[in-house]
Amino acid sequence: MHCSGRVMVNRIIAKLFYLSLSRNSLLFRKFRRYQGDSVFNDSEFAKCQKRVKAQLEANSEISFEQGTTKSVLRRLDGRIDKPFFSKEIYTSGSTGEPFKFFVPLRYFGFEWIASRFMWSTHLSDYSLNEPVITFRTHTPKNDQDVFKIDRFQNFYYVSPYHISQLNLDKILNFIIQSKSRIVRGYPSSVYLLADLLNQNAVVLADIRLVVVSSEMFDDIHRNAINSAFPNASICNQYGQNEGVVALFTCRHGKWHNLDYYGKCEISDANAIIGTPFHNKVYPFYKYNTGDLVEQEEKFNCSCGLGSTAGVKAILGRSDDWLFKADGTKVPSTNFTSAIKTIEGIKQYQLIQDINPIKIRALIVLSSSRSFNLELLKGELARCVQNRLGKIQVEVEIVDEILRNRKTNKIKTVIRNE
């Protein structure tokens, strides 16, 4: 790895800083102390409201009482100067219209620690410096290695594009040599690996924690992971670029909000509304993330993290929905549970064209056994039509479902408008 002397020195300083944070460090203690503590939330919430009001005062036509959304905040573009010690972030969004906002520099360190705090709730002897196998981020160009080691973070990267039977032995060696207990990646990547391990009757008993984020995580993924990594707890992390709220599943599989990070509320329309406590440079207040949930009563969880977030399941972005001919929305999770019962389907993607309305279903077949292809196609078409009504369904067999090159994610549902 080539890097200049100054970058190297900065990295060493940062590394020493991180290493000095033991599990009992101040920040970890703060996360733990404020977990499930609504008193902290309310006072911090009031402070946040005052701050946001001051920030928006110069733009009196913008009402913040109801909270903020992307479209409200877009109107601030150019009217808020970039604060010192902040970074500009752009997101493109599904409409392609860019959205610009600021985060304080400490946001990145905060994110770093927040993730590790989540992991530490699963592994009682978790150490900040322990190795982590990571199936994301590393996408090698032509002749580059499938593997990459980042000694700074102690991350052992495997290219998610190269999870295949051909590379399985190499990947297994890499995992074993890393001595990692933690496997991390998008659900689709970790699932791909787990499925491969299951096909080869390989069990990785030393893996104690599987961390997934950024994509829908469903029972197909969970079952494959449970059998390939029988001793692993699963931590599902939810967040957004805007960094307004962070949720995660505990070792009992229940959703908790990271109270020290931000306040989480659920709107009447079941959307996640977040107010960040760590971002004092941009007026996010009761910000509508557009991510939808299935709600449940909050309860005091026996994992010791206090109250749950009142979220039974995260259903995904509103652009993860498909439409019936009459315009009724159907969340992508409705298909997952049904499609998993069809024998022979390993992976799928539903692509909806709106005009004219139809569905193209791409499927990857599981190689393990033989089955009647026509029967399978008919069953899949029926499964989609049962939920979307009598619309045209084309089933296409493909070798793999392609990742979005920009986001690096695999979506189970795509809507072309």
Q: Tell the smallest beta-carbon distance from residue 249 to Zn ion (Å).
A: 8
Strand locations in 92-129 (E): 99-104
Binding Zn ion (rule: CB under 5 A), the pick from 175, 216, 244, 250 is: 250
Residue 42, SS3 per DSSP: helix
Identity of the residue, 28 or 284, whose beta carbon is nearer to Zn ion in the bound complex: 28
Report residue 54 CA to chain centroid gap: 32
Give 80 or 118: the residue with its C-beta nearer to Zn ion: 118
Contact flags string 126-165 toward Zn ion, x per CB under 5 A: ----------------------------------------
Q: What angle do CA 88, 90, 93 make, to 5 degrees?
A: 160
Is the CB of 304 or the CB of 378 nearer to Zn ion?
Answer: 304
Residues 6+ apart with CB under 8 A from 117: 27, 28, 31, 32, 258
Longest Cα–Cα distance in the chain: 67
Q: How many residues bind Zn ion (CB under 5 A)?
A: 6
In angstroms, give the least distance from the CB of 250 to Zn ion.
Answer: 3
Window of 8-16, 245-253, 323-331, 402-410 that interacts with Zn ion by CB under 5 A: 245-253
Segment near Zn ion (CB under 5 A), from 169-177, 270-278, 296-304, 364-372? Answer: 296-304
The conformational region for residue 179 under phi > 0 = left, psi -120 to 50 = alpha, else beta, is: left
- Can residue 307 be called a binding residue for Zn ion (CB under 5 A)? no
Q: Which range, of 38-46, 232-240, 297-305, 340-348, touches Zn ion by CB under 5 A?
A: 297-305
Q: How far is the CB of 253 from Zn ion (least distance, A)?
A: 8
Residues near 320 by beta carbon (within 8 Å), at least 6 away in sequence: 216, 331, 332, 411, 412, 413
CB of 217 to Zn ion, least distance (A): 17
State in angstroms the smallest separation of the CB of 178 from Zn ion.
29
- Dihedral angle at the C-alpha atoms of 307, 22, 209, 317, nearest 10 degrees? 50
| Residue 51-70 contact track with Zn ion, rule CB under 5 A, x = bound | --------------------
**Which of 201, 202, 198, 144 has its CA nearest to residue 175?**
202
Q: Which pair of structure tokens corresponds to residue 326?
A: 């009459």
By CB under 5 A, is residue 301 in contact with Zn ion? yes
∠ at Cα 51 (30, 80), nearest 5°?
115
Q: By CB under 5 A, name the one of 254, 278, 317, 377 that touches Zn ion.
A: 254
Q: Does 303 bind Zn ion (CB under 5 A)?
A: yes
| Chain positions contacting Zn ion, by CB under 5 A | 250, 252, 254, 301, 303, 305
